[in-house]
A and B are shown apart, each in its own frame.
Chain A
C-alpha cells in the first residue's frame, strides 16, 4: 500500500539554520506514530510543514499521492492558495496552546469551519458537534466560552474542533505540555480513544513516554533534524540501539518513574 505521507529528501531552513536536512519519512494509512526528541530537533517542524504552516525549500512531500509543491508553484510554498486549500482538507492539528477562538462559544468553535469550509448546514454541523462533544465528555459545556473552561477541557474541545473537519491525518503538537499535571490524563484519555479509529492516521509529538508506548504503532526519535532511530514501541523503549537514543530516554524516563495515575480518564 502506498504510504499516506511521504517525505523525500526534504530540507527546511529558517534563514541560516537548517532544521530538516534531506529528511526522509513515511507514514502508512491508519498508523499511529509518535515523534520524540529534544527541543529544536525538528519534530514540531515536521507537523507544521504537514499542516502548511511552514514551507520547505527542497525535496518532495506527498500526502495520499498529491505533492505539496505545484510544478509552476510560486511563493515560499511553491503552490497556489487553492492547491494548499485542497491539501489542508486532509490534515487537522491540535496545538500545544489549544488556540480556541476566545470570542466564540464551544459549539461555535466546533461548527465554524464545517459550516464555512465544508459548506455543511448549520443544523447538521451542530448535531455532529454535539456528538463530538459527547465523545470528549463535554456535552454540558457547549454554550460556554473557552475562558470558562479548564485547560484540559479546552484541549478536549480543540480535539473535537479538529475532528469536526474529518481529517484523514490528525497531528498533535505537544497537546499536554501546557497543561497542569492533573489535567493531562483527561486529554490523553481522549487521544487514546481516538487511537482505536482504524482509518485515522495520527502523528503525535509528546513527552509523555508511557502514553506513547501504550498508544503508538511506531516511535521515532528525532535529533538535529533527522530520525536517529525508530521502531515498534516495546522494543524501542526496552532496547534502544543508538547511543543518543539511550541518552535521551534515560534523561527523560529517569524523571518519570512510577506509572502515572493521571492516565485514567477524567469524569
Chain B
C-alpha cells in the first residue's frame, strides 16, 4: 500500500474529528459560561442546578456517559444518532470542566473592582458583563487551551459509538492492512498536528484579548 492509500481515509477521519471537536468546544464554551455564571449567582436554585450538572459530568467517566446516551437512553424512548450523541456528550463534559474555570476566574477578579462597581451603582448584570468578565476572560484562556486539547483527545472515544472519526478510520485501516505500526503512528501524528493547530488558535485568541482596547490590562500582567 502506498502512503497516499493510508492517508486518504485517515484524512477523511481527521475531518470528522475536527468537526466534532470544534462543535463540542463551541457548545461546551457556551455551557461553561452558563453554568459558571450560574454557580456564582445568588439564586440558590440556579446555583444548585449548575452544581449538580458539574459534579455529575466531572465525576463520571466520559466513555460511560457516551454509552449511556447512545445505548441506554433509547431504552426509555430517547434515541440519538451517533453524531448528535457524540457532540452532545462531549459538549456537556467540556462544559462541566469549563464551568469550573469560568467560576474560578470570576472569583479571582479583585473584590475592589466589585466594590467600585457597587459604589457607582452598576447593576449586578452590568457588573458581570462589563467589569468582571473582561478581566476574567484573560485568566481563563490558558485553562481553556488545556480543555480544548483535552476535548480533542476525548473525541477519539466517539469512534466507539461508530462515528467515522480519525480513530475509527485507523481501526478499519488496521483491519485491512494489518500494518498496525504504520497506521497508529500516522494516527498519533495526525492528532498531534491537529493539537498544535488548536494550541496556536488558542494562543492567537489570547493575544487578541490582551491587545484589545475594550479589555484593560489586568493588574498582574
A contacts B: CB pair < 8 Å:
no
